[in-house]
Amino acid sequence: MSLHVIVGAGPVGSATARLLASNGEQVRLVTCSGGGPEQEGIERIAADASAADTLARYAAGGAALYSCAGLAYHRWPTDWPPLGAALVHAAETSGAVLAITANLYCYGQVDVPMTEDLPLRPNSVKGQVRTKLWTDALAAHQAGRIRTVEVRGSDYLGAETITPFNAMVLPKVLAGRRSSIPADLDAPHSWTYVGDVARTLVAAAARENAWGRPWHVPTAPPVSIRALAARAAELAGAAPPGVEDADPRTPPRRTVQSGRAGDARDAVPAAAAVRPRLVGRDRCLRHPTNHDRPSLEGDHRRHTLTCPALTTSFATVSDDDACRIPEGCVGKGQERTGRPTARLD
C-alpha cells in the first residue's frame, strides 16, 4: 500500500481518489474545505495547498502527488502560479511523482488533430497560465529536481462535471425540453470521460517511462453536439431532443428539432459519452477549445497510452466500474498483462 496525495476534490480529484482507494491504496485528499468522497482509505484534509510548506508536509512519504484542483476561471492568473509552485516544491521535497491534470488550451487555435507533439502556442490568458505551469514543472523534471507527467483531456463528461453541454443541453434533454447553446451544432468535438482521466493519471504516475512528457487521455471519436444530445435522449429514454444555436448571429436554418425516435436523422454511431456514462479509447482530440470548427483525422498510433478498460468503445459503466483500476495499462500492440506499461514512440 502506497500513499497517494491528491489536491482537489472536483470530478477528476474525486474519481482519482475513489479509483486508488478501491485498489487498496492510501489516499490523502487535500482541499480548502476538507471535502471529498467519504470512502474507506481516503483521508480528507482541510488545508491551503498553495502554501508551499503546508503542502510539502502533507505530501511527505507520498508515492505520487496529483494536481486535480479546479480554480475559478477569472482567478487563474493570480491563483494558479502559487499553487503550481507549491506542487513543484512538494514534489521536490517528498520525492513524489507530480501528475498534473490539464486541458488543451496550451495548443491554441489549430486546424489539425491535436496530438501530444503539437507545439505549445496558447492564444489566451488561461492558455498561457496553464502552459507555464507545465513548462515550469517540466523544467524542474529536466533539471533532476522532480519527476512529473501531464495528462490532457477535452471537455469532460461524467459525474459532477460542468461544461457548456452538461450545463446548457443535457439537463433539458433529459427533461424532454428544447435546449440552446452558442455553438455549431454539427461541428465534430471530442468529449473526455472523467473516469478515463483518473485512470490515465494513475497509469502515467506509476510508470517511469511515461514521465517527463504529456499524455492525451484516451478519448472517444469526435461527435457533434446534435449527435451527443440525440444519444443522451436515447440512453435516457427521453423524447428526441430539440437543440438550437443560441448565437443571435446564426441564421434560422441552424435551429434544429430532432425527428421522431428511430428516425435516420437521429441515428448516431455508438460514439457518445453521456449519463449513463460511456467510455472510449480514441486519443486523437479535435478542437476541444472551439465548438465551431471541425478538423481532419490524424495518425492515432503515436504517443498512445491505452488501458484495457478503455478498449471497449462506448460500453456503459456503473459508478463502481468508473472507479475500478484496470488490471493492466499497456501500449497498443503489447501484451495486456502485468504492471502498467506505456509505449513511447
The pTM of the full predicted model, rounded to 2 decimals, is: 0.75
Query: Hey, how many other C-beta atoms are within 10 angstroms of the C-beta on 234?
Result: 18
How far, in Å, CA of 312 to CA of 317, rounded? 11
185 and 236 belong to one structural domain: yes
Question: 308 lies in a domain?
Answer: yes
Alpha helices (runs of H) in the chain, residue ranges in sequence order: 11-22, 52-59, 76-94, 125-142, 164, 170-174, 194-206, 225-236, 319-322
60 and 171 belong to one structural domain: no
Question: 170 lies in a domain?
Answer: yes
pLDDT string in tens for the chain (345-residue length): 899 999 999 999 999 999 999 999 999 999 999 999 999 999 999 999 999 999 999 999 999 999 999 999 999 999 999 999 999 999 999 999 999 999 999 999 988 889 999 999 999 999 999 999 999 999 999 999 999 999 999 999 988 888 889 889 999 988 888 888 888 889 999 999 999 999 999 999 999 999 999 999 999 899 999 999 999 889 888 887 776 666 545 544 333 333 222 332 222 222 233 322 322 333 344 444 444 443 322 333 233 333 323 322 222 222 333 322 222 222 222 222 222 222 222
150 and 184 belong to one structural domain: no
9 and 109 belong to one structural domain: yes
Question: 196 lies in a domain?
Answer: no
Q: Are 233 and 241 in contact (CB under 8 A)?
A: yes
Question: 64 lies in a domain?
Answer: yes
Continuous segment of H or E residues that includes residue 215: strand 214-216
175 and 120 belong to one structural domain: no
Report pLDDT for 106. 96
Question: 33 lies in a domain?
Answer: yes
CATH number at residue 73: 3.40.50.720
Could you tell me the three cell numbers for 104? 488543451
Question: 201 lies in a domain?
Answer: no
Question: 336 lies in a domain?
Answer: no
How far, in Å, CA of 75 to CA of 80, rounded? 8
| Residues ≥6 apart with Cβ < 8 Å to 49 | 7, 8, 30, 31, 32, 55, 69, 83, 86, 87
Question: 330 lies in a domain?
Answer: no
Q: What is the largest CA-CA distance in the chain?
A: 60
37 and 140 belong to one structural domain: yes
- The total of structural domains in the chain comes to 2
Q: Are 13 and 38 in contact (CB under 8 A)?
A: no
68 and 143 belong to one structural domain: yes
Could you list the residue range(s) of the whole structural domain that residue 169 is in?
Answer: 161-191+221-322
